[in-house]
């Protein structure tokens, strides 16, 4: 009897231990991971609509697609256009800080299939990637340039902007602007796009 009781007790402990491990694994599997918990809060909008986030307001006023880009203000007298094996996406954007000096440290395009493309570093970007410190109530506008594969230049393409204070986009607002609405076609200009790195107030 005593042997049976001891064996039963050990068996129950083992079953309980396995059940606790299984419950832990189940909880870890079905609940969001740390990256999902810390994800930025997306605030969506469309072209020409002002989108208000915690630190800034953004309005994308234009988007163009092209196979080459001419950069204004280049030191070379006749700058050769920048070519790409993919597609250049030129966005004209206007930012305004809400309550304190703010930089737009994060600018990216996200394709319909979820791929993320940061603003290109092949040209000087002065309005995004931390280039310009925006003062509250004093808007600034300019061009932002992205280089993406042809397969990403489809309906569902969006642009995302965040202040990324201390280069951290976690748990903060991020503006998301629909560049190519569902069902719309993308027209890729064969003539060179004109990119102007200057920021205008």
Partner 1 sequence: MTPEELMSIPDGQHTATPPPAPKPKGWWRRNILALIGLVPVLALVIGIGFIDPFYRFWQAGPLRPVSADAQGIATIDGIQFRLEELTKVELKDFGGKAILLPVGTLAWKAVVEIKAPDQEKVGLCHFFVEDKAGKLYGDGPDELSKAKGATSFSTCTSSDEKASAAYRVTVYFLLPALAKPEAVRVTWITRYPDYIRLPARVR
50 near partner 1, judged by CB under 8 A: no
By beta-carbon proximity to partner 1, the closer residue of 78 and 166 is 166
How many angstroms separate the Cα of 194 from the Cα of each of 70, 74, 91, 132, 180? 5, 12, 11, 20, 20
168 binds partner 1 (CB under 8 A): yes
Query: Total binding residues for partner 1 by CB under 8 A?
Result: 15
Q: Binding string, 64-103, against partner 1, x = CB under 8 A?
A: ----------------------------------xxxx--
- How many helices, marked H, and strands, marked E, lie in the chain? 2, 11
Residue 151: strand, helix, or coil: helix
The single residue among 42, 186, 192, 199 that binds partner 1, judged by CB under 8 A, is 199
> Cα separation of 151 and 111, whole Å?
9
DSSP string, 46-105: ETT--EE-SSEEEEEEEEEEEEEEEETT-SSSSPPPEEEEEEEEEEEEEEEESSS-B---
Q: Which of these ranges, 24-32, 117-125, 163-171, 187-195, lies near partner 1 under the rule CB under 8 A?
A: 163-171
Residues 115-134 that bind partner 1 (CB under 8 A): 132-133
Minimum Å distance from CB 154 to partner 1?
Answer: 36
Give the footprint of partner 1 on this chain (CB under 8 A): 98-101, 132-133, 135-138, 165-166, 168, 199, 201
């Amino acid at each position: 009897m005593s042997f049976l009781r001891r064996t039963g007790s050990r068996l129950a402990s083992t079953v309980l231990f396995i059940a606790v491990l299984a419950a832990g694994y189940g909880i870890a599997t079905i609940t969001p991971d740390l990256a999902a918990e810390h994800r930025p809060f997306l605030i969506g909008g469309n072209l020409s609509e002002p989108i208000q986030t915690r630190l800034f307001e953004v309005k994308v006023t234009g988007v163009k697609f092209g196979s080459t880009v001419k950069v204004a203000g280049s030191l070379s007298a006749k700058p050769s256009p920048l070519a790409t094996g993919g597609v250049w996406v030129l966005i004209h954007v206007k930012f305004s800080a809400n309550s304190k000096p703010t930089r737009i440290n994060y600018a990216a395009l996200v394709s319909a299939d979820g791929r993320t493309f940061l603003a290109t570093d092949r040209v000087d970007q002065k309005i995004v990637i931390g280039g310009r410190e925006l003062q509250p109530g004093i808007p600034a506008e300019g061009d932002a340039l992205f280089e993406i594969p042809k397969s990403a230049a489809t309906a569902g393409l969006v642009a995302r902007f965040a202040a990324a204070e201390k280069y951290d986009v976690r748990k903060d607002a991020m503006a998301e602007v629909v560049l190519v609405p569902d069902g719309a076609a993308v027209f890729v200009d064969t003539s060179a796009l004109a990119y102007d790195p200057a920021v205008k107030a």
